[in-house]
Structure 1
Amino acid sequence: MRSVFQYVRPASLEEAIQWLAANASETVVFAGGTDLMPAMRKGEISCSYVLDISRLDELKVIGLENDRLVIGAGVTYTDIVENDVIREQAPTIAAAARCVGSEQIRNVGTLGGNVGNASPAADSIPALMVHNATVEIVRTGVIQTRPLAEIILGPYHTSLMPGDLITKFYLEPLPAPYRTVYQRIGRRRAMAISRINLAAAVLIDSQGAISDFRMCIGSMTPQPYRASSVETMLVGKTPNRTIIVDAARLASQDMIKRSGVRSSTEYKKPAAEGLIIRSLCELFAVDMGEDEKQCEP
Structure 2
Amino acid sequence: MELWNTTLETSFVLIGILQDSKYPGLVCAAITFLYLVAVICNGLLLLLVAMDKRLHVPMYFLISQLSLMDVLYTSTVSPKTFVDYLRGQSTISLSGCGFQIFMILIIGGAEDTLLAFMSYDRFVAIRHPLKYTILMRPKVCWSMVATSWLVATVNALVYTIYTMHFPFCKNREIRHLLCEIPPLLKLACIDTTKYEFMVYTMGMTLTLIPLSTILASYTLVLTTVFNMPSKQGRQKALLTCSSHLTVVGLYYGNVVLIYVLPSAYHSPQRDNIFSVFYTIVTPALNPLIYSLRNKDILGALKNFLGKGPSIPKL
TM-score if structure 1 supplies the norm length? Answer: 0.26
TM-score if structure 2 supplies the norm length? Answer: 0.25
Specify which structure has the higher proportion of strand.
1
Larger RCO of the pair (alpha carbons < 8 Å, separation 6+):
2
Specify which structure has the higher proportion of helix.
2
